[in-house]
Amino acid sequence: MRESDAILESYDESVKNGLRTILATVVHVKGSSYRAAGARMLVDEYGYMTGAISGGCLEGDALRKALLALEQNRNKLVTYDTSDEDDAVIGAQLGCNGIIQVLFEPVDPANDLNPVELLRRANNKNKTYALASIFNLNKREHQQGTSLLIDETGSITSETNDESLSEAIYDVAVSTIKKRVNHFGEYVSKSGTQHAFIDVIPPPHSLVLVGAGNDSQVLSEMARHLGWSVTVADGRPSHANEKRFSNCQVVVANPESILDDIEINESTAVVLMTHNYNYDLAVLKLLLDFNELTYIGILGPNKKHRRMFRDLRNEGIILNEKHHAKIYAPVGLQVGAETPAEIGLSILSEIQAVLTGSDVKHLREIDGSIHQKDQYQFEKVQL
Amino acid sequence: MKNSTKTYLDYNATTPVDERVLEAMIPFFTWSFGNASSKDHIFGWESADAVDVAREQVADLIGATANEIYFTSGATEAINLGLRGFCSANKSEGNHIITCKTEHKAVLETCQSLEESGFDVTYLDVGQNGDVDLTELESSISSETLLVCLMHANNETGVINPVKEIAELCRSKGVPFFSDATQSVGKLPVDVKEIGADMIAFSSHKLYGPKGAGGLYITGENKPTINPLFTGGGQEKGLRPGTLNVPAIVGFGKACEICENELVADAERHIDLRNYIEEKLIELFDVSINGNSKDRLPQTTNVQFRNIDSTHLLRRLRNLAVSRGSACSSATSQPSHVLTAMGLSADEAMSSIRIGLGRFTTHKDVESAIREFEDVIPQLKPVAG
């Protein structure tokens, strides 16, 4: 389950039981940390935590800060400096060396634009969103909180009454969504300085498995652990059914019509693995028309996809560079995979890398931050 | 700051608590009285949160990060923790400490005590303006040198040491540098990163905060190892155990925040007032200014009234609070160790007084101080000499 899904579920449960909650969000990191900005954690009034803002070293103290924010009923910004190994309070024994800013926000269920509800809106659609958390590095100042949601069409949901700030963040967010990179801004006006973290939240990864064999079954289970939504499509009801694929959308259809009911966007990966050459070929032909699709994996040896390309060419369908760029055949990374689960790992690793735009390499080969979203410099914006 | 008709010009000894500081502290004496180490209830969380804020306010004033600040009961404790704690943790690395004859007693007495436990201490001389000779410092550093301890600004004369150059020299020799910045923090812009000191001690009550709180800055970059002086409940990362003095720490923090905003303007005003008082005293009496030609604190002057016994002078100045120097030694009638180290004779040192201006000193205060001198000095018999 995705962290945000878990947070929303836990929030709904808490509200149902009349429990108050606080949302903690990592809004800035300087140096290295276990979790990047955008990590979130929900704490209920009993101290039960869903999600995580660190590898565990901050959670103990964060719990007390969360409960204090709840008691005081106001947002709080807390700095964790994990560079000091002698600090037993946060016990930063991971060897992290970073300064982490965490925003704690008591959540008011009566407000349907509270931070969790904004997160729900950002989480629940087929679009990419920018969720802005406004804070002030001077902790003695008012911490406005998570209060602006902008979608890729430019539509805005706002919980702030500071219009000039809101407009400035809006402008930044629109370009931030396009670039798909989080943004840290320092907004300077005559009345003072505010900071905002703009978290770009793409649609959840979705995986379309064409083929409902036993290897698909393993792959679907593994993908569910990652919080991806999984659709399984096959022509055989004996294979593609809810019993074999619980928690998946199951589509039983001819290859020509299987994509009719499947949502495909930039966060979708499709893997052709029916073990039926003609079925896979027919679906591949349809997929070539989906420009937003960035990943098509084809299970099978080189011989198979070369034959597919040849047969398409014979039909007058010439694959262009863009097509070739998104086709991963044979599917998967070289990780020595043999068993169905190992092959699943190889395929999912490749999809994760492609959908997040990451170069595949050992982390030890990387200098600096190992997080993708590592552009943590505050950009100055004059209001 | 007035005590009926009396004028207080001894701000180097201590300062009154700024009312804004007092206001910030009051809740922490009464309803927000929790132990900052209480983890299970809001009283504790609130106190811990207030200490976090104060730690940032203190850190901001000196350009440090909050995790480099350790709260103590005052500068003396911070100095003891820094010097003894460092020496005890690093004694295998060497046994030589370098300090200076004009340091505050908190440093000198601690160094003497370390000498008794086997460390060698070099006490550097100063020139007639109170300045440390960097060549002498450099030649004193040996492979056995564990630590250099030199103050930022002198408490009696206000003379400022070139701490940045000292820090650079120490770094080039691989020796950590400790500085007692009790007199400068809050009066001068102090940036520990720019200076490059490894440890800095300072105090709340010198900068309009309450007595009973102080700070030790320990750099987070190549953090030196320091042993605690006593054991307890692990507060201040185990380095300074004991229940935190939350109201004083809150006041210390607030006082630092105010200094950060106001110290430049205060300093400009103080320089004008000090220049005025010095010019007037020179015009009216046979006086000279000790440490005059060096960089000095903006609000401090040390004045030698030739052939006047300062003990008699002070007793006559019934409406003016000035002093003979360090508040710690003023119960005794010894000539100041700082002034004699600068080459003054015992008599000259005994003829000198320190005037310390502060945030609440007005031009009127300075005028009445000058009038008080005018009234009193003609009544005093010149001492032989």
Note whether A130 and A9 are same-domain residues.
yes
Q: Are strands B214-218 and B69-72 parallel, antiparallel or unpaired?
A: antiparallel
Q: Of A31 and A103, which is predicted with more confidence?
A: A103
Residue where a domain terminates, one of A201, A226, A259: A201
- Measured CA to CA, the distance from residue B344 to residue B335 in angstroms comes to 9
Residue where a domain terminates, one of A181, A201, A221: A201
Note whether A190 and A213 are same-domain residues.
no
Q: pLDDT averaged over chain A?
A: 90
* Partner residue opposite A81 with nearest CB, options B45, B67, B234: B67
Q: Is residue A53 scored above 90 in pLDDT? A: no
Residue where a domain terminates, one of A139, A168, A201: A201
Give me the DSSP letters along B183-239: TTBTTB---HHHHT-SEEEEESTTTTS-TT-EEEEE-STTPPP---SS-SS-TGGGT
The lowest-confidence range among A40-49, A118-127, B102-111, B121-130 is A118-127
Q: Give Cβ neighbours of residue B232 (< 8 Å, ≥ 6 apart).
A: B241, B242
Distance to chain A for B44, nearest Cα, Å: 9
Distance to chain B for A370, nearest Cα, Å: 22
Confirm if B144 and B94 have CB atoms less than 8 A apart: yes
What is residue A55's predicted lDDT score, i.e. its pLDDT?
Answer: 76
User: What pLDDT, in 10s, does the model give residues A61-74?
Assistant: 888 899 999 999 99
Strand, coil or helix: B22: helix
Confirm if B271 and B298 have CB atoms less than 8 A apart: yes
- Alpha-carbon distance values, B205 to A159, B11, B200, B251 (Å): 44, 10, 16, 10
Q: How many domains does chain A have?
A: 2
Neighbour-count burial of A138, counting CB atoms closer than 10 A to its CB (0-12 exposed, 13-18 middle, 19+ buried): middle
Q: Cα Rg for chain A, rounded, in angstroms?
A: 23
Note whether A190 and A250 are same-domain residues.
no
Q: What is the rounded (10 degree) CA torsion for B126, B132, B138, B142? A: 60
* Partner residue opposite B220 with nearest CB, options A76, A78, A84: A84
Q: Are strands B300-305 and B352-356 parallel, antiparallel or unpaired?
A: antiparallel
Note whether A160 and A210 are same-domain residues.
no
- Measured CA to CA, the distance from residue A5 to residue A201 in angstroms comes to 13
- Give the pLDDT band (50/70/90) at residue A240: very high
Note whether A23 and A164 are same-domain residues.
yes
Q: Give Cβ neighbours of residue A109 (< 8 Å, ≥ 6 apart).
A: A15
- Measured CA to CA, the distance from residue B28 to residue B2 in angstroms comes to 27
Sign, CA dihedral A33-A39-A45-A47, equals negative
Distance to chain A for B198, nearest Cα, Å: 15
User: What pLDDT, in 10s, does the model give residues A132-154?
Assistant: 999 999 888 999 999 999 998 88
- Contacts by residues A163-168 (CB-CB < 8 Å, ≥ 24 positions apart): A164/A189, A164/A383, A165/A134, A165/A189, A165/A194, A165/A196, A165/A383, A168/A381, A168/A383
User: What pLDDT, in 10s, does the model give residues A286-327?
Assistant: 999 999 899 999 999 999 999 999 999 999 999 999 999 999
What is residue A376's predicted lDDT score, i.e. its pLDDT?
Answer: 75
- Measured CA to CA, the distance from residue A159 to residue B19 in angstroms comes to 38
Which residues of chain A approach chain B closer than 8 Å at the C-beta? 64-65, 67-68, 71-72, 76, 78-79, 81, 83-84, 86-89, 99, 139-140
Residues of B with a known catalytic role: 328
Which residues of chain B approach chain A closer than 8 Å at the C-beta? 39, 42, 45-46, 48-49, 52-53, 56, 65-67, 220, 223, 234, 237-239
Confirm if B354 and B138 have CB atoms less than 8 A apart: no
Interface contact flag, B52 A78, Cβ < 8 Å: yes
Note whether A69 and A36 are same-domain residues.
yes
Whether A377 is covered by a domain: the verdict is no
Confirm if B297 and B188 have CB atoms less than 8 A apart: yes
Note whether A247 and A279 are same-domain residues.
yes
Whether A361 is covered by a domain: the verdict is no
pTM across the whole model? 0.83
Strand, coil or helix: B85: helix
Give me the DSSP letters along A221-269: HHHHHTT-EEEEEES-TTTSSTTTSTTSEEEE--GGGGGGG----TTEE
CB atoms within 10 A of CB B32: 17
* Partner residue opposite A67 with nearest CB, options B45, B56, B239: B45
Whether A368 is covered by a domain: the verdict is no
**Which amino acid is it at B137?**
L
What is residue A1's predicted lDDT score, i.e. its pLDDT?
Answer: 72
With residue B252 as reference, give the H or E element that holds it.
Answer: helix B246-284
Q: Of A374 and A100, which is predicted with more confidence?
A: A100
**Residues in chain B, total:** 385
What is residue A99's predicted lDDT score, i.e. its pLDDT?
Answer: 85
Stretch A18-40: mean pLDDT: 91
Q: Which two tokens stand for residue A345?
A: 């790992």
Whether A20 is covered by a domain: the verdict is yes
Give me the DSSP letters along A292-341: T--EEEE-S-HHHHHHHHHHHHHTT----HHHHHHEESS-S--S---SHH
- Measured CA to CA, the distance from residue A303 to residue B25 in angstroms comes to 78
Interface contact flag, A86 B56, Cβ < 8 Å: no
DSSP type of residue A138 = S
* Closest residue on chain B to A137 (Cα): B56
Q: Give Cβ neighbours of residue A118 (< 8 Å, ≥ 6 apart).
A: A131, A146, A147, A149, A157, A159
Note whether A107 and A245 are same-domain residues.
no
Give me the DSSP letters along B289-344: ETTTTS-B-TTEEEEEETT--HHHHHHH-TTEE-BSS-TTTTTS-PPPHHHHHTT-
Provide the domain limits for residue A191. 3-201
Whether A367 is covered by a domain: the verdict is no
**Which amino acid is it at A305?**
H
Give me the DSSP letters along A339-382: SHHHHHHHHHHHHHHHHTTPPP--GGG--S--SS----PPEEEE
Give me the DSSP letters along A39-80: -EEEEETT--EEE-SSSSTTHHHHHHHHHHHHHHTS-EEEEE
What is residue B384's predicted lDDT score, i.e. its pLDDT?
Answer: 59
Which of B12, B2, B5 is CA-nearest to residue B322? B12
pLDDT in tens, chain B (385 residues): 445 689 999 999 999 999 999 999 999 999 899 999 999 999 999 999 999 999 999 999 999 999 999 999 999 999 999 999 999 999 999 999 999 999 999 999 999 999 999 999 999 999 999 999 999 999 999 999 999 999 999 999 999 999 999 999 999 999 999 999 999 999 999 999 999 999 999 999 999 999 999 999 999 999 999 999 999 999 999 999 999 999 999 999 999 999 999 999 999 999 999 999 999 999 999 999 999 877 999 999 999 999 998 888 998 999 999 998 765 555 557 899 999 999 999 999 999 999 999 999 999 999 999 999 999 999 887 775 5
Whether A364 is covered by a domain: the verdict is no
Percent of chain B with pLDDT over 90: 90
- Give the pLDDT band (50/70/90) at residue A162: confident
Which of the residues B31, B32, B45 would you substitute to probe the A interface, choosing the one with the greatest number of A C-beta atoms within 10 Å? B45
Largest CA distance in chain A: 71
Note whether A77 and A170 are same-domain residues.
yes
Which of B342, B319, B249 is CA-nearest to residue B58? B249
- Give the pLDDT band (50/70/90) at residue A195: very high
Note whether A240 and A92 are same-domain residues.
no
Q: Are strands B320-321 and B145-149 parallel, antiparallel or unpaired?
A: unpaired
Whether A363 is covered by a domain: the verdict is no
Note whether A176 and A258 are same-domain residues.
no
CATH number of the domain encompassing residue A252: 3.40.50.720
What is residue A265's predicted lDDT score, i.e. its pLDDT?
Answer: 87
- Measured CA to CA, the distance from residue A339 to residue A216 in angstroms comes to 12
Neighbour-count burial of B145, counting CB atoms closer than 10 A to its CB (0-12 exposed, 13-18 middle, 19+ buried): buried
Whether A379 is covered by a domain: the verdict is no
Stretch A348-352: mean pLDDT: 97
Note whether A189 and A226 are same-domain residues.
no
Task: Name the β-bridge partners of A327.
Answer: A296
The lowest-confidence range among A82-96, A175-189, A348-362, B252-266 is A82-96
* Closest residue on chain B to A71 (Cα): B42
Residue B11 phi/psi, 5° resolution?
Answer: -65, -15
